[in-house]
Amino acid sequence: MTADRFLPFAKSALRAALVFAAATLLTAAWPVRAQTTAQTSAQTSTQVPGIVLDTAAVEKALAAGAVLWDARDERDYLEGHIPGAINFGAAGDVFRDPNREDPPSAAAASRIFGAAGLDILNRDVIVYTRKGDAVAYYAARMVEYYGGRHARVYHGGLDDWQDAGKPLSRTPTRLAPVALSLNTEMRGALDNAQLLERLRRGSVQIIDTRTAKEFSGEDIRAVRGGHIPGAVLIPYEENWRDPQAAAKLASRQVSTREGMALKPVEELVKLYAGLDRSKETIVYCQSAVRASETAAVLRDLGFKDVKVHEPSWLGYAGQLTAPAEQETFVNIGALNGRIQSLMGRVQQLEAELRQLKGQGR
């Protein structure tokens, strides 16, 4: 390979390594997650039978007037979506602060939903993305979070729709804007203070839906690693027929998302058999996305009082006085030193590559 062709390739690879290392540092030094000030209906968990829908149930709901919300990004939506579905950007971006990963205020949500024509207080809403995608569940939960009835989720999403031979559309659907004045936040959710109060009382069961390495503190994605005391580890992927489906898809061992279909009900019942369905159940992950999927599954299984810990581990870990089990920390000083060393090496290699280019090699 000539120097002209090798230089950009080498720069790209080296910079990618640098970005990865820097991201690790930033994650370790992540700010404490803000607590919401709006507590209206924070203790209320709106139970909805049949949150998780299949293709037939979606068609029936649409015929009855439900609004279909495609919660993917606009580019994917325009490449093909279920006819009649609306879209107003990737829900994981629209409803999460890029740093703290908190949902926006009720006032901001009023503008977002209102501009999209989505009256969450008076319309039946169904959300979809791709099969098994937890973001669809997070988007559906945002409807409840701001005072509406928990939206339902088409778990199979675009994958099941196409597998059923249903048509796609590339024509955007736009609803007329509506005037919304939402004054509720945290419905169906808990903040740090509320969770800590329940830990003191010992009156709650907690499910950690992250990975085993996150749970043990080996994989640190916040100021510290570990887990909330007493939490039971059940990764959200365990809800799927193949818990390794995402990893297999990423490594190209499989070419479809079929393994991300939900397990049969009887298998899900066994998965959560060690928990009390009548007891308040708190579900968390890193930033309340993965937890949203498990929370919906639990509700459909008959758990009576399910709430999502909205700050999840990102916010809980940042509150250093909050107790944790298997607590670990990143040596930020040492990590910063390694990043500085890597930056120096990148600069040295870039200089050498420029020299090679100048020599025409």
The domains of the chain are located at 3-28+331-358, 36-329
Using the predicted structure, report yes or no on whether residue 7 has a pLDDT greater than 60: no
The neighbour count for residue 355, using CB atoms within 10 Å, is 11
Name the residue with higher pLDDT: 356 or 115.
115
- Please compute the mean of the pLDDT values over residues 331-357 and round it to a whole number: 85
Contact status, residue 55 vs residue 156, Cβ threshold 8 Å? yes
Residue 333 pLDDT class (50, 70, 90 cuts): confident
Residue of 188, 136, 134, 160 whose CA lies nearest to 57: 160
CA–CA gap between residue 75 and residue 73 (Å, rounded): 6
Q: Write down the pLDDT at residue 157.
A: 98
The residues pairing with 308 across neighbouring beta strands, listed in sequence order, are 189, 283
Q: Half-sphere exposure of residue 333, counting CA atoms within 13 Å on the CB side?
A: 0
- Please compute the mean of the pLDDT values over residues 37-46 and round it to a whole number: 39
The 10s digit of each residue's pLDDT in 223-259 is: 999 999 999 999 999 999 999 999 999 999 999 999 9
Torsion on CA atoms 310, 125, 150, 303, rounded to nearest 10: -120
CA–CA gap between residue 286 and residue 312 (Å, rounded): 5
Instruction: Calculate what percentage of the chain has a pLDDT beyond 70.
Output: 86
Contact status, residue 135 vs residue 179, Cβ threshold 8 Å? no
The 10s digit of each residue's pLDDT in 59-88 is: 999 999 999 999 999 999 999 999 999 999
- Please compute the mean of the pLDDT values over residues 183-190 and round it to a whole number: 96
Using the predicted structure, report yes or no on whether residue 22 has a pLDDT greater than 60: no
Q: Which fold has domain 36-329?
A: Oxidized Rhodanese; domain 1 (3.40.250)
Q: Write down the pLDDT at residue 215.
A: 98
CA–CA gap between residue 161 and residue 147 (Å, rounded): 29
Q: Write down the pLDDT at residue 44.
A: 41
Report the 3 state secondary structure along the chain: CCHHHHHHHHHHHHHHHHHHHHHHHHHHCCCCCCCCCCCCCCCCCCCCCCCEECHHHHHHHHHCCCEEEECCCHHHHHHCECCCCECCCCHHHHCCCCCCCCCCCHHHHHHHHHHCCCCCCCCCEEEECECCCHHHHHHHHHHHHCCCCCCEEECCHHHHHHHCCCCCECCCCCCCCCCCCCCCCCCCEECHHHHHHHHHHCCCEEEECCCHHHHHCCCCCCCEEEECCCCEECCHHHHECCCCHHHHHHCCCCCCCHHHCECCHHHHHHHCCCCCCCCCEEEECCCCCHHHHHHHHHHHCCCCCEEEECCHHHHHHHCCCCCCEEEEECCHHHHHHHHHHHHHHHHHHHHHHHHHHHCCC
Instruction: Calculate what percentage of the chain has a pLDDT beyond 90.
Output: 76
The 10s digit of each residue's pLDDT in 209-225 is: 999 999 999 999 999 99
The 10s digit of each residue's pLDDT in 276-309 is: 999 999 999 999 999 999 999 999 999 999 999 9
**Averaged confidence pLDDT in the chain:** 88
For residue 79, give every residue at least 6 positions away whose Cβ sits within 8 Å of its Cβ, in sequence order, or none: 170
Using the predicted structure, report yes or no on whether residue 269 has a pLDDT greater than 50: yes
Residue 6 pLDDT class (50, 70, 90 cuts): very low
Q: Write down the pLDDT at residue 216.
A: 98
* Residue found under tokens 């936040």: 185
CA–CA gap between residue 263 and residue 163 (Å, rounded): 18
The 10s digit of each residue's pLDDT in 150-162 is: 999 999 999 999 9
Contact status, residue 126 vs residue 56, Cβ threshold 8 Å? no
Q: Write down the pLDDT at residue 37.
A: 34
Contact status, residue 131 vs residue 155, Cβ threshold 8 Å? yes
Q: Write down the pLDDT at residue 99.
A: 80
Q: Write down the pLDDT at residue 334.
A: 73
pTM, entire model: 0.83
